[in-house]
Amino acid sequence: MPVVERLGRFRRLDSFAAGVGAGVLKALDRSADGRVRARLDQLAAPTGRFGCSEPNLLGVPKADEVRACIVPADGQLFVVADYAAIELRVLAHAPATERLISVFREGGDPAPAYGRDPFVGRRSRT
């Protein structure tokens, strides 16, 4: 493995160890069965996004070495979903803005279209 790749990998893992890793170690100290349990807060942010604490498992890097340590209990499984631009997707259907809906149907990025014109599909022609 080239030195640059190793350095990048080291930095990612070091960042994890200093941040989320410290919280994981504290959670393991509290755990009776060796499993880490975090606190999920479905109203953590004003945007409605989930938050996680004690430890923040939402901050776990995608590095295989770290994610491989996170496994469900026997007989259980993880359900993973990541809705890209979910807030704008809901907004597109609430006022039935056809132009914004078409951006999603075409696989486009709604942020630039919506950023240029926040009244997409809601202007009356007078």
Query: Could you state, in order of their start, the residue ranges of all structural domains in the chain?
Result: 3-67, 81-126
Mean pLDDT of the chain: 79
Within 8 A by CB and 6+ apart from 78, the residues are 72
Average pLDDT of the residues in 42-60: 83
What is the percent of the chain with per-residue pLDDT over 70, rounded to a whole number? 85
Give me the residues paired with residue 52 across strands: 40
Ramachandran angles phi, psi of 107, nearest 5° = 75, 20
Q: What are residue 52's phi and psi, to 5 degrees?
A: -140, 140
| Helix locations, 1-126, DSSP H | 3-18, 20-30, 64-67, 86-93, 98-105, 110-116
pTM of the full predicted structure?
Answer: 0.52
Provide mean pLDDT across the span 3-26: 82
Cβ contacts of residue 104 below 8 Å, gap of 6+?
Answer: 89, 92, 110
Could you read off the pLDDT of 79-126 as tens digits, one per residue?
877 777 777 777 777 766 777 788 888 888 877 766 766 665 555 555
